[in-house]
């Protein structure tokens, strides 16, 4: 039986990442999570962190005060990030929108470490190389495309996961970014408001 890959997650306590970290650990992969000390002490994350602990997930943090501290690693400290990456085989990023371009730091560390068999950048949405987006998605997609080109130019083995839209994010707020509930007074329509939608089971429907 082939040895299970050692997986390092960056951004693994968020909307998507927490499910991937759990699946990795439950599948028997040695699973590592780069995490901020503030996340470990955040009451809103306590359930997720607690579940990870029971699954044997190893936490990588620069905090010397954390009882969960194992290896050291920090997205914004190149040397420690390289050291963390050298302990694993696969790096999976699930960072959020605000940190998309920070993934160039991960790419640089992977290149220097020289041991990573596969890198999965934070995608988990539309295929950014085959869309005509309007703002604000256009800017986010451009950032993801820039990360893709950086990975490819460095010759790093990669997998891009394009899973299309997550209705749990968009339908719950009527696609109003930055909100947590449907607006009651007005909604923002992106683009010029004229594109037609198509029913998934009837491509000819307008």
Q: Write down the pLDDT at residue 24.
A: 98
Q: Confirm whether 144 is a catalytic residue.
A: yes
The residue-averaged pLDDT of 90-105 equals 94
- What was the pLDDT predicted at 132? 84
Q: Residue 90 corresponds to which tokens in the numbers above?
A: 């696969």
Write down the domain spans for the chain: 7-166
Cα–Cα distance, 9 to 31 (Å, whole number) = 8
Residue of 45, 51, 144, 146 marked active site:
144
Other Cβ atoms less than 10 A from the Cβ of 192: the count is: 7
CATH superfamily of 7-166: NAD(P)-binding Rossmann-like Domain (3.40.50.720)
**Tell me: the pLDDT tens digits for 31-80?**
999 988 888 888 999 999 999 999 999 999 754 444 434 445 678 889 88
Token duo for residue 22: 């759990």
Write down the mean pLDDT value for the chain: 84
């Amino acid at each position: 039986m082939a040895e299970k890959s050692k997986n390092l997650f960056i951004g693994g306590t968020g909307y998507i990442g927490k499910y991937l970290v759990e699946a990795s650990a439950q599948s028997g992969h040695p699973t590592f999570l780069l995490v901020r000390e503030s996340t470990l002490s955040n009451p809103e994350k306590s359930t997720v962190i607690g579940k990870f602990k029971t699954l044997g997930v190893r936490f990588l943090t620069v905090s010397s005060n954390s009882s969960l501290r194992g290896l050291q690693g920090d997205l914004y400290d190149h040397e420690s990030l390289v050291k963390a990456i050298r302990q694993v085989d696969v790096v999976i990023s699930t960072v959020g929108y605000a940190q998309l371009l920070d993934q160039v730091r991960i790419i640089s560390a992977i290149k220097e470490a020289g041991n990573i068999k596969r890198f999965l950048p934070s995608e988990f949405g539309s295929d950014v190389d085959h869309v005509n987006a309007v703002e604000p998605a256009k800017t986010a997609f451009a950032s993801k495309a820039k990360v893709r080109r950086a990975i490819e130019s460095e010759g790093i083995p990669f997998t891009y996961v394009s899973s299309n839209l997550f209705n749990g994010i968009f339908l719950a707020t009527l696609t109003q970014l930055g909100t947590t509930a449907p607006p009651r007074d007005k909604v923002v329509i992106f683009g010029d408001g004229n594109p037609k939608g198509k029913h998934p089971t009837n491509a000819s429907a307008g």
